[in-house]
Structures are given as structure tokens and as C-alpha cells.
Amino acid sequence: MSGPVLTVEGQLLDKDIKKLARASRTSVVGPTALYYAGVTAPIISASMALVVKNALTMLGATSYWQLMLSALIAAFAGIVWYLIFMRWSYRHKVGRGNELTDVSNVRLEDDALVLTRGPVETRIASAGINEVIEKRGFTIVRFEGVDPLIIPDRWFAKDKQVRKAFLAHLKRI
């Protein structure tokens, strides 16, 4: 190694993980939940249509009312199920593994970013770094094939020069 090795460390807080989740996710509902909500809603609708039609037949309603009421109730049942399912499917839990319990150490070397958290060390070559996003109060680093990393500004202990040098080196590697 010929260049400097810059290091920053700190412990992530719950609010940091929430910022990371908001910055990383494109919606509050995952694609699987959306798929199942869309698949099950028509099944619920069809089932309700059949139940209502049979109930109205037993009550002696005419064909017109059987069709109209079963269609209306089926439509409402499908919509209500879809809305309830989507609400149940909201992503609530944030954080992965030991992000909130162990100190994170981010080390920048000439050709890699090395993240150490607890007993695990992850080395990401410069080619694996996709994007560095600076936001107010934190920086997000996106990688190829690995979850993104958030580096809060408070880890630099209000030293703007150290933060600036760290981010400049991060963007260079």
C-alpha cells in the first residue's frame, strides 16, 4: 500500500438505519407483498360473489338482484382485502444483524473499502463501489451485490476537514 489509510468508526443508531432504509427503498411495500395482494384480491372477490349469489338464491331473489348484489359485494370485498393486505405488508423493521449493537469501522485503503463490524470484516474492491451519495448529516455508499452502507457525519466528531478528506478518498477509490 502506498497511499494513506483513512479510518472512521462509530455506532449506528436506529435513526441512521431508518435514514438508510428510506434512501434505499423505492416504496413502503415490497414486490412480493404487492404480487400476493394482487393475486389474492381476485380470489377473495370471486369467492364472495359465489357466497352472495348462493345466499340470494336461497332467499328467492331474482337473477338480476343476484347478479347486481353479488358483483357489488365482490368488488368491495376485493378492494377491501387489497387495502388491508397492503397495510399489513408495510415494512416496519429496519436494521440487519448487528448494525445497531456493534461498532462499525470503515477503513479506506488504496483500492478497497474495508468494513469491520464485530468479528466480521468485509472488503469491497473499488470496482464494487457503485455510488457515493452525500446527504445532509450522512453519506450512503452503494455497492455491487452488497447492502448499502451509511456513514453518519457525527462519526467525524464535527471535524469537517477529516470528513472532506475521507469522502474525497472514498470517491477516488
| 113-157 pLDDT per residue, tens | 999 998 989 999 999 999 999 999 999 999 988 888 999 999 999
Let me know if residue 163 belongs to a domain. yes
According to DSSP, the residues that pair with 112 across neighbouring strands are 125
Average pLDDT of the chain, as a whole number: 86
Residue 139: give its domain's CATH number.
Answer: 2.30.29
Residues 12 and 53 in one domain: no
Distance CA 83, CA 89 (A): 10
Residues of the chain above pLDDT 90, percent: 50
Q: How many domains does the chain have?
A: 2
Helices (H) and strands (E) in the chain, counts: 4, 7
Residues 84 and 60 occupy one common structural domain: yes
Q: What is the pLDDT of residue 91?
A: 58
